[in-house]
Amino acid sequence: MSERTSTDFLDTARSSILAWWLPLGAMLLAIPLPDLLKTGVWVLALAWMGSACVLNSRRCGRVHCRYTGPFLLLMILPVLGHGLGIVPLGPQGWRWLGLVTGGGMAALWWGSERLLGRYR
C-alpha cells in the first residue's frame, strides 16, 4: 500500500488541522505562559497528537504514525517532570523539550517513511 487512502487522517486539511496543527499551535502559544499552565497545555496537546497518530496507524497503516504516536505519548513524561519541577532541565528546559519533541517527530516521520514507505 503506497498511496494515500481515504482512511488516513492526513487525507483532508480539516482532519490534519484538528489532529496536529491546532495542538502544535497551542504548544507554541503556551510558551510564554507560567510553567504549570504551559505544562497542562503541552500534556494535553501531546496526548491529543499521540492518540491521533496511534489511531491513524491502526486505521490506515500510516508508517510514521506507528512511531510518532508512542513517541509523542512518551514525551508527556519529561514535560510533566520538568513542568512540575521534579526533573529540572535548567533555564532552557522548555526549549530543549520543544526541540526534542519537534525534532524527534520530524525525524521519525521522515525517516520511517523513507525506509518503510508511507503505508503498511
Q: pLDDT digit string (tens) for 77-95?
A: 999 999 999 999 999 999 9
Q: Residue 52 and residue 34: Cα distance in Å, rounded? A: 27
**Chain-centre distance for alpha carbon 55:** 13
Q: Identify the band that residue 1 occupies on the pLDDT scale cut at 50, 70 and 90.
A: very low
Query: If 0-12 CB within 10 Å is exposed, 13-18 middle and 19+ buried, where does residue 108 land?
Result: buried
| The pLDDT of residue 86 | 96
Residue entry with cell 519541577: 85
